[in-house]
Amino acid sequence: MRKVISLIAELLIITAALFIADYWQAHANVIPRSLIHLPQVDYTQAEFWQILKIFLGLHLIAILLMQLKAGAWTMSNAKRSTNELFLLVATYSISALTIFLATTINFDPDLMAGIGISTVGLILLTHITAALINGTRFPALFTALFSALFKRLFSVIGLLVLVLAITPAIMAYFFTSNRDFANVVTQMRINISGFFSAELNYSLVSATGDYRFHQPMLARMAPNDNSTLYVLERSGRILKLPYPYSASTPPEVVMNLQDKVGYVEVENGALGFTFHPEFGKTDSSNSGFLYIYYTDVRDDKQVNRVSRFNLHAGSTTDIIQSETPLLTLNRESSGFHNGGSVEFGPDGFLYIALGEGIHLKERSQAKTLRQGIIRVDVDMQGGEISHPIRKNPINGKSENYYIPNDNPFVGRNDIREEYWAIGLRNPFRISFDQETNELWVGDVGSTKWEEVNRIEKGGNYQFPYAEGYEQAWASKPDPLIGNESEPVYTYLHTAYDRAVIGGIVYRNGKFTKLSGQYVFADNYSSKIFAMPTDQTRIETVQEIARASQYAQRGVSSVSQLPNGDVLVTTLGRASAPTGEVLKLSDGDIVQTTVPTETSVPIIVSKQEAKSLYVTNCARCHGEQGKGEGPDSSLLGVNLPDFSSSTFHSTRTNSAISQVIRDGGNEVGLSPLMPPWKEILEEEEIEALTQHIRSLQKQN
């Protein structure tokens, strides 16, 4: 009985230590930043419960082994309490190293330090309390305790435990300060976690041999043709090539919108395309129709367009001239948050995902089209099915479609009738589950949360009133238009996982373990994830693969072909054809495609440096560097003014590069400035430094 009580007591101490440390790190730095610079790390609630399980499991084993050797813990005995203390400290260290080396949990040094300190404190408090209850006087209590601690500390076992206790902190420091060490640890974590989940290990291999694209955005097949692949490039070209790919048949440019797309920068360009469901049917008037969402950027004006083109119109010039506009939406000038997906649903209607950036100053959804998913009838069937557009949005023009009569907001004056769902920030990549017909979307977040949403008719996903499961900066109106809805899965927006790319619900393919799972990606980290689709809320997802290009060169789409193949597009460099169309395959988690750039020196042009800055930095710092980017007001910190001569006169090039390379936290600045050393090459960091220098006003 004593053994059971002792076991329960010690496990309760470990549990209490974890909760104390969780609260402590959330409200203060456990490890003083004046002592050592460590990055700010956020872990999810699900990860905290995983940490708790690991600690309790390993401590349970250690305590049982100790009881087999020495019996139950006599809490008032100084020698035994000291031995128990060193046992739990050693087990704490092993638990921390297990999390650090053998899992993909975000390793928070503050949390781990807090657990260790709390464990020691609670063990000592328990011993002192038990000794006092047992009648021991204070002088004798402390004499016995410190004598036992001193003897154990300077024994061989004690010194080994002490070294073991500080090992996690040392490894965390080198992980954040030494790139080679970080790479070794990362590879170890991938290999170990992959060993324990081997049934979900996949790789990404080139689906087009050695052929590379200029920033591919999406790859898909046309209806009624399972042997031809169409690839949309960001500049506006659509290429057609055989599938499976044959190097003997070079890709053919079937349409080129470059002159209409204009300046490709930030999040602009040709963003998404789809075919009419009757494409290729010779007896249909829709047999040549393709729909494309693109941005038109020229003369300092930006317009978002959704248009129909007829690929059977004749020459490439005739195809361009066949453009039939559906939406022409003027937008604000930052170029962010366009949305960009167009998909036909199983009902035959066209669904279009619009970002919150598609507006002028007017934010009312009764007057504008923005921040949601709309559903329109491009066949203009009329009658009981659909009706004509009643009025144009104030930010542009809508035409050449009807509005389905069963849209959720038909007949209302406080919201436009086109909307199917609202309250999304930047819905990027929507798709329908071919079995359940459910609509899924990846919604790119602001400064903290990324979301995966199951879209329901009339749903309001609450941006800007909420992000993830948290209240955001805007006050929620009462009543709220539509049905209040929450995401199925959210993850913290970090330096590397920061831009969700919606994917597909995997069906009818050879990977049976993925059947029915939602397969999606993150643009910056290029991780591919899978998660169940039969739950209302998901806490954790499985990383199943990773592409080799990151950040603004990372994943732009995940799609599935009729034969079950899953294709992933990665953008590559803006100035060279290094983008890839990859195929999910059996194998290792780390992708092993042929490197596209490592064999030649990296030369970053001024235009590429500007592109790097605008894509990665302008959201916060602003395109002109004045600290007034679209997300700057959400950060809660003052941003430097790169146009100021004062900024440049007080900083060397190496100082600016160091902040970019190592992040703000490493140099005593805000941890909201992430480190870029794992994403950008050294040549790119230096080029960014020069671009920031070029933003200085010429006095």
The CB density around residue 69, as the number of other CB atoms within 10 Å, is: 7
Q: Among candidates 300, 271, 338, 266, which has minimal Cα distance to 623? A: 266
The one-letter amino acid code at 213 reads F
The residue with tokens 């923005």 is 370
* Model confidence at 678: pLDDT above 70: no
pLDDT at 319: 96
- The sheet with strand 237-242 has its strands ordered as 216-220, 228-233, 237-242, 252-256
Collapsing DSSP to helix, strand or coil, 421 comes out as: strand
Question: For residue 392, what pLDDT is reported?
Answer: 93
Rg over CA atoms, the chain: 29
Instruction: Please tell me the predicted confidence (pLDDT) of residue 33.
Output: 64
Backbone angles phi, psi at 140, to 5 degrees: -70, -35
Closest CA to 114 of 182, 185, 48, 44: 48
Q: Where are the alpha helices (DSSP H) in 217-315?
A: 258-261
pLDDT digits (tens, 9 = 90+) for 417-439: 999 999 999 999 999 999 999 99
Look up tokens 């894509």; give the residue: 615
Cβ count within 10 A of residue 308: 20
* 179 HSE (CA, 13 A, CB side): 10
Quickly tell me which residue has 């936290």 as its tokens.
665
What was the pLDDT predicted at 111? 87
Closest CA relative to residue 292, chosen from 246, 242, 256: 256
What are the structure tokens assigned to 551, written together? 């950040």
- How far apart are the C-alpha atoms of 393 and 408, rounded to whole Å? 18
Please state, in angstroms and rounded to a whole number, the distance separating the CA atoms of residues 556 and 218.
7
CA distance 567 to 688: 32
Q: What's the pLDDT band for 594 if we cut at 50, 70, 90?
A: very low
Q: Which residues contact 276 (CB under 8 A, 6 or more apart)?
A: 223, 286, 287, 289, 290, 291, 344, 378
Give the whole-angstrom CA distance, residue 624 versus residue 613: 10
Query: What pLDDT does residue 192 have?
Result: 62
DSSP state of 134: T
Write down all domains in the chain, each with its CATH number in brackets: 2-196 (no CATH), 606-694 (1.10.760.10)
In whole angstroms, give the CA distance from residue 237 to residue 317: 13
Does pLDDT of 699 surpass 90? no
What are 151's two structure tokens? Answer: 């003897």
Lowest mean pLDDT among 510-514, 624-628, 632-636: 632-636
How confident is the model over 286-313, as pLDDT tens digits? 999 999 999 998 877 889 999 999 999 9
DSSP 623: T
pTM of the model: 0.69
**CA 544 to chain CA centroid, nearest Å:** 14
Judged against a pLDDT cut of 70, whether residue 184 lies above it is answered with no
The chain-wide mean pLDDT, for the chain, equals: 86
Residue 196: is its pLDDT beyond 70? no
